[in-house]
Chain A
């Protein structure tokens, strides 16, 4: 295939208007910035302490004083929702980044070297794949005892297989490319080829998947905490708050309702971010 290099004709102003507007990415980023600002700054401006018990103020409905009402222990629900956001976002970040790093490494090694290494690693992936995600995570956290650290371990042990599969598939196709061949002929080390030539061209789908995985992880972390297997009360956490409010659901709907909205908001933000990144990094056609 020959390509003729021609001087770009003077671009019309219409063409020069670069970065094409990417509505999902813009909306997702905006939602994320608002969320981060709220969970980082909100508690500083709130006149309430997310942990301070005040029975005189218990079960107040949403109003001018307590915008989201108060819970059964008189704690301000809005302040707790914001403080919980910080906790959940931190946990979710670790629970996505660790499996991402480990899974991508395994996938890259399996795909690049192939052969027996690949077969053994992928067998392990296939076996772990048969276990329902929730069952395995619950069994691991349940065995180790509920704590944030054990949640990190459980998610890492379970989720890395998704990233390994994605990256391996990509690496398999990149491995045959001319630039990887060229790098090999130049005598570069495997490590250098993987890091500098293979991974940069194979990691995009994993990054896009990571955004979807944040949504799933937040749902799972809050679900575990809801069941009593994750973050422990009185630490503010969305799942814990929903579980707390469940006992008062008929009298005080607001305790459980608002943390749920926060989860949905976060989920939408990351879904949009994932869609936008997909458009940006993998232009179709």
Chain B
């Protein structure tokens, strides 16, 4: 019940931010120099053609009127009409959403699988060569361009070891997990580079806490102390690191989808930019921002679930 109330309250609090988001997404295409209509027609179009298109796209109306039209399109659930596909933007975007959502969830799970054992190892063997090696690997991972790693993995798995497919989304749950493994791994590596650092230092801090001494004093074996008490209390800070970087992780999917030819919203964004399908770009900007807000809400709830000291209010 409390959870439900919290979620509802947060959703209501999001409304002003969502309005702000629509304003930014709207202004993006209108205030910046450059005219979508003339870009769409190209250099060879006549002035009349450009004017006709401006009228068709509603770009000749006053700004406030355009914004109201935009809000109206959102309210009726269509988000406007795609120029290239001649279908409602919402339909086009919703079709492409599942691969991206699966990719985000999958890469986060992989990142946690990488983070927990490596961070524990680094913290327990603090200042040893293994701690140093883990740190070095992830400094490199943080500087590594994900799209470059993607291209190299395509070379490696496409040619040398064809275990994993290097493009597409596959069929069924296992098909998806199998096809998305490489792109999810690339994103997970970047995420893990951030989380290992924070989990390691919070494990080190928690291990010296009084309640850990208590757990040891009652004769709990060191492994159980680590698993049951240290890890659980350290994970809290890692969840907050994940939530701070949500928007970075979601943004990262855009480039990775383009590399691995995944039919997600990131790939849709890039193709819509090239085909100058502005209504879709606009709809996607709103979708991505809403996604970030939604996921940060989910992490807040997860945060409270892990840490009983935090009250949902």
Give residues in A with beta carbon < 8 Å to B. 123-124, 126-136, 138-140, 142-145, 215, 219, 222-223, 226-229, 238-239, 242, 245-246, 249-250, 253, 256-257, 259-260, 263-268, 271
Shortest distance in angstroms between B137's beta carbon and chain A's nearest beta carbon?
Answer: 12
CB-CB under 8 A for A256 and B148, given A131-B289, A136-B285, A264-B140: yes
Interface range on chain B: under 10, 10 to 19, 20 to 34, or 35 or more?
35 or more
Beyond A130-B293, A142-B281, A245-B151, 5 extra complex contacts between A and B, CB < 8 Å: A127-B17, A144-B33, A250-B155, A264-B140, A271-B139
Please list 15 pairs of residues, one from A and one from B, whose beta carbons are closer than 8 Å in the complex, sorted by A's number.
Answer: A124-B20, A128-B24, A130-B21, A130-B292, A131-B289, A133-B251, A134-B251, A134-B254, A138-B270, A139-B28, A143-B278, A144-B32, A253-B152, A257-B152, A259-B148
Chain B residues with CB under 8 A of A223: 145-147, 255
CB-CB under 8 A for A134 and B148, given A139-B285, A142-B273, A143-B28: no
Chain A residues with CB under 8 A of B36: 143
CB-CB under 8 A for A249 and B247, given A135-B254, A260-B145, A268-B140: no
Chain B residues with CB under 8 A of A138: 254, 269-270, 273
Q: Are the C-beta atoms of B258 and A268 separated by less than 8 Å? A: no
Chain B residues with CB under 8 A of A139: 28, 269, 273, 281, 284-285
Shortest distance in angstroms between B30's beta carbon and chain A's nearest beta carbon?
Answer: 9
Instruction: Indicate which residue in B17, B158, B159 contacts A130 across the interface (CB closer than 8 Å).
Output: B17
Q: Are the C-beta atoms of A250 and B145 separated by less than 8 Å? A: no
Shortest distance in angstroms between B120's beta carbon and chain A's nearest beta carbon?
Answer: 23
Chain B residues with CB under 8 A of A226: 145, 147, 255
Chain B residues with CB under 8 A of A219: 143, 145-146
Closest to B287 in A: A135
Q: Is B274 an interface residue (CB 8 A)?
A: yes
Expressed in whole angstroms, the Cα–Cα distance for A139 and B30 within the complex equals: 12
Instruction: Indicate which residue in B143, B248, B281 contacts A143 across the interface (CB closer than 8 Å).
Output: B281
Q: Is B34 an interface residue (CB 8 A)?
A: yes
Q: Is B144 an interface residue (CB 8 A)?
A: yes
Q: Are the C-beta atoms of B148 and A263 separated by less than 8 Å? A: yes
Expressed in whole angstroms, the Cα–Cα distance for A49 and B288 within the complex equals: 43
Chain B residues with CB under 8 A of A140: 28, 32
The 4 closest A-B pairs by CB, nearest first: A267-B143, A142-B273, A132-B251, A134-B251
- Chain A contact surface mostly: helix
Expressed in whole angstroms, the Cα–Cα distance for A132 and B289 within the complex equals: 7
Q: Is B252 an interface residue (CB 8 A)?
A: yes
Shortest distance in angstroms between B267's beta carbon and chain A's nearest beta carbon?
Answer: 10
Expressed in whole angstroms, the Cα–Cα distance for A283 and B306 within the complex equals: 33
Q: Are the C-beta atoms of B144 and A263 separated by less than 8 Å? A: yes
Q: Is B97 an interface residue (CB 8 A)?
A: no
Closest to A266 in B: B143
Q: Contact flags (1/0) for B252-282 with A, using CB distance below 8 Å?
A: 1011001000000000011001100010010
Shortest distance in angstroms between A238's beta carbon and chain B's nearest beta carbon?
Answer: 8
Q: Is B203 an interface residue (CB 8 A)?
A: no
Closest to A249 in B: B155
> Which of B28, B147, B250, B269 has the most C-beta atoms of chain A within 10 angstroms of its own C-beta?
B147
Chain B residues with CB under 8 A of A250: 155, 158-159
Q: Are the C-beta atoms of B273 and A133 separated by less than 8 Å? A: no
Q: Is B177 an interface residue (CB 8 A)?
A: no
> Which of A128, A135, A263 has the most C-beta atoms of chain B within 10 angstroms of its own C-beta?
A135
Closest to B148 in A: A260
Expressed in whole angstroms, the Cα–Cα distance for A203 and B285 within the complex equals: 32
Q: Are the C-beta atoms of B20 and A123 separated by less than 8 Å? A: yes
Shortest distance in angstroms between B6's beta carbon and chain A's nearest beta carbon?
Answer: 19
Chain B residues with CB under 8 A of A130: 17, 21, 247, 289, 292-293
Q: Are the C-beta atoms of B139 and A268 separated by less than 8 Å? A: yes
Cβ < 8 Å to A, chain B residues 41-87? none
Q: Are the C-beta atoms of B32 and A143 separated by less than 8 Å? A: yes
